[in-house]
A and B are shown apart, each in its own frame.
Chain A
């Protein structure tokens, strides 16, 4: 089967500090995985933050970056300097290269304090 693992359930970080959220994936059914980071801000719905569909490529959005590493089956999310507005729940997700149901990690709640 397919699975996505996010090792941190909750992260607390000071404003202007760096952030890294770990994500690893495993799949037995998808030949060319597509990887996604979704985010849910307080009071809002789940929305796409960034996606990468080709191994070795990097995606970026709103100051966040994630590199698709096929060798380590990882897709860690990083930001060099977080802001209070980055407080949210972040979900790593795995899909195929055509429309299909996504496999999500359990999510990482990020709290940024001033």
Chain B
């Protein structure tokens, strides 16, 4: 079991460029979560998919951020027109979609916007 895989591990973009972050959940896990971690705000929930369907995007910024899960083996988080305040570590987690679940976290992608 390779765990949750996130690529790239580090990404540097210029202001205004687009960034796409990839997540491969643990095989058999039907729930996928995205979080963002910064020094000031800590770990913040962004969005969640269950069986590839978007369930809750209450934490997603209303503009420039979007997430998709085109198949059960990967999810993407896309940030358009990146801004310096988007710099953060983006974490993906997966779990079984049932009660008493445990979320397994990936190593994260560190995004730096210059």
Contact residue range for chain A? Answer: 20 to 34
Asked if B99 is at the interface of the complex by the 8 Å CB criterion, the answer is yes
Number of B interface residues at 8 Å Cβ cutoff, please give it.
31
Q: Which B residues, 54 to 69, have Cβ-Cβ distances below 8 Å to chain A? A: 55-56, 58-59
Asked if B88 is at the interface of the complex by the 8 Å CB criterion, the answer is no
Q: Which A residues, 33 to 68, have Cβ-Cβ distances below 8 Å to chain B? A: 34, 38, 45-48, 51, 53
Q: Name 12 interchain pairs, CB-CB below 8 A, sorted by A.
A: A45-B108, A47-B105, A53-B99, A53-B100, A98-B97, A99-B31, A100-B56, A101-B35, A101-B45, A101-B59, A102-B45, A102-B103
The 9 nearest A-B residue pairs measured at CB: A101-B45, A104-B43, A46-B105, A106-B42, A99-B97, A99-B31, A48-B102, A45-B107, A97-B99
B interface, CB within 8 angstroms of A: 3, 31, 33, 35, 42-48, 50, 55-56, 58-59, 91, 95-108
